[in-house]
Structure 1
Amino acid sequence: MVVVDKVEEVDGEAVLRRYMDLAKFAALLQSGSFFHCKMSNFDDGLEGGLTADDYITFTNDLAYLDLTMALWPVVQESQEERQVRLDKVERIRSFVDQETFETIFGPMLKSNAVEYFERARRWVYVSCWNKAQTECAGMWSLYGADNSICICTTVNQVSKYLQFDGLEVTKSVMAEVDYLDHGEGSFSDQELGAFVSKAEPFGFEKEIRVIAWNSSKNYGELAQDNPHAGVFSRSVDLNLIINKIVVSPKADGWFKSVVEKLCTAYGLNVEIEYSSLLSPRISHLVDTRLLRK
């Protein structure tokens, strides 16, 4: 079994939330498994791609440009001098051709950098969690539905109790997403950076993600089509991961009862509460007592 490693910078006690509709919650209860989507299926085309700065770092295009410039004729250069210069350029080119950079799949040639990041997106699997002490109205709208729920847990619980079977996945890491300008910013981590970075407009998501991959795949294998939409991680007991369930503020009156019955049927014994967005307006002295916790 493959467990989820937590990078040092992530606070283990941080509260994580995941918003889902009833169908996905029922599937979670039935299977005890969390889905990790392959990155190439994400709507954001920048995810898994390079920033401008990192393009310079990971590719050898600038080195090849310098070598091309070095091939230009030199005024009043003898035939012997020209041959010496060209031989030097060829020796440098041979070195540049072999330059590599480190990746989560092992060393890759810099000359294959652009293709590598495009290929890797097909074989890197991600599950997304909202790092927040409180609910987010925007997250309800984006990832929930009128009849939806939000499960609450912590970084330590996800890291400790989620496991992969080791067939499709040999490595898994939990990391906080870095929101950046792909034109001006750069990755904070050479190997993981492209897979834990998103464009700045998504910053409101405050995302921590679980990333999983098969580290044994080589450059050629990454070129193959991935027939799977994603992979699943499993928890022996969802009670070890889920601390609380919050019901959508737009849920129908009958919905909370259905969630309670589902939890009972599958042995999930956790607190189920209505969204704090349903708190009443304060119009009386008694209301001040009701809203205080």
Structure 2
Amino acid sequence: MYHHNSNIKLPEDTETIVWKYLDLSKFLDLLLSQKLFMSRSDKFEDQYEGTFSEPTYEEIKKLAIDNPDFINYYKTHREKVAISSWHINEYESFAMWQIFTQNSEGLAIQSTIGRLQKALQPENNFKQYIGEVNYIDYKKEYIPFDDLFFPFLFKRKSFQYEREVRIITDVSDSENNTKLNEGLKISVDINQLIEKIYIHPKSENWYKNLVIELVKQLGFDFTIEKSDLESDILI
């Protein structure tokens, strides 16, 4: 169920286009289970993920002198938060294809902020939020930590090109003390979540046909686009 939190920034315009680049096996898993996989926040590649900037850390160390549980609380909180990353862009991105898909097989899901909000299902029982990541200088800038989400919505400036939007699921309040292990799968309305699919620009025709066939066999009818980056060489 989508919650609004006033400290979390999001583009005003719900029509803002977002993308998720993924490989075929993750995509199939999404369609077959009708659940979106969310990665546990401390399992990301970026080892700074969910950590503090230096000025913030100095501040927190002072607080922690009187209250040693404070830092522990944040460490364990990271194990209770799962994240699904999306990327704001009006168009598909050549760089994102390269970073997030291997060997010219992969897909991009195109959605919008409004669709993400509507796709989250009420039966998820967890607190879920959607927020835009702030990119800051970790050496100099201070992260306000009056909010439990702050570690998950700040990244170093060198990641600015990602223009990331995150669906954040917090299971810390859930009754049955949910264990996250690698992550969590949450129910989503696939037809809301996916507006269009783009197939990797360098993929072979058999692969494109396979994706089209799979989507049809599974009974979905979202638009499947050929990548705009595909070269129709006009000479």
- When the two structures are superposed, what TM-score results if normalisation uses the length of structure 2? 0.87
Matched, 1:262 2:214: yes
The aligned runs of 1:1-293 (5 Å cut-off) are: 2-5=1-4, 7=8, 9-11=10-12, 12-61=14-63, 97=66, 110-145=67-102, 146-163=104-121, 165-166=123-124, 170-187=126-143, 190-191=146-147, 192-216=149-173, 226=179, 228-236=181-189, 238-281=190-233, 283=235
Could you tell me the percent identity over the aligned residues?
Answer: 26
Alignment gaps of 5+ in structure 2: none
How many angstroms apart in 2 are the aligned matches of 1:8 and 1:202? 17
The one-letter amino acid of 2:82's match is Y
- Give the CA RMSD over aligned residues: 2.4
Shift of 1:61: 5.0
Supply the distance in 1 between the matched residues of 2:213 and 2:133 (Cα, whole angstroms). Answer: 35
Counterpart CA distance in 2 for 1:252 and 1:152 is 21
Counterpart CA distance in 2 for 1:139 and 1:163 is: 28
- Please give the per-residue CA displacement for 1:100-125, whole angstroms capped at 9, x wherever unaligned: xxxxxxxxxx5333222222221110
Preserved CA contact (<8 Å) 1:51 1:183: yes
Contact 1:4 1:163 survives alignment (8 Å): no
Higher helix proportion (structure 1 or 2): 1
Task: Classify the secondary structure of the residue corresponding to 1:258.
Answer: helix
Shift of 1:186: 2.1
With normalisation by structure 1, the TM-score equals 0.71
Q: Larger Cα Rg: Structure 1 or Structure 2?
A: 1
State the aligned residue count: 228
Over 3 Å counting, the alpha-carbon distance change for 1:281 and 1:273 in structure 2 is same
Letter in 2 for 1:208: V
Gaps of 5+ in 1: 65-96, 98-109, 284-293
User: Are the structure 2 counterparts of residues 10 and 176 from structure 1 closer, same or farther at C-alpha, using a change threshold of 3 Å?
Assistant: same
Distance change (3 Å), C-alpha of 1:208 and 1:281: same
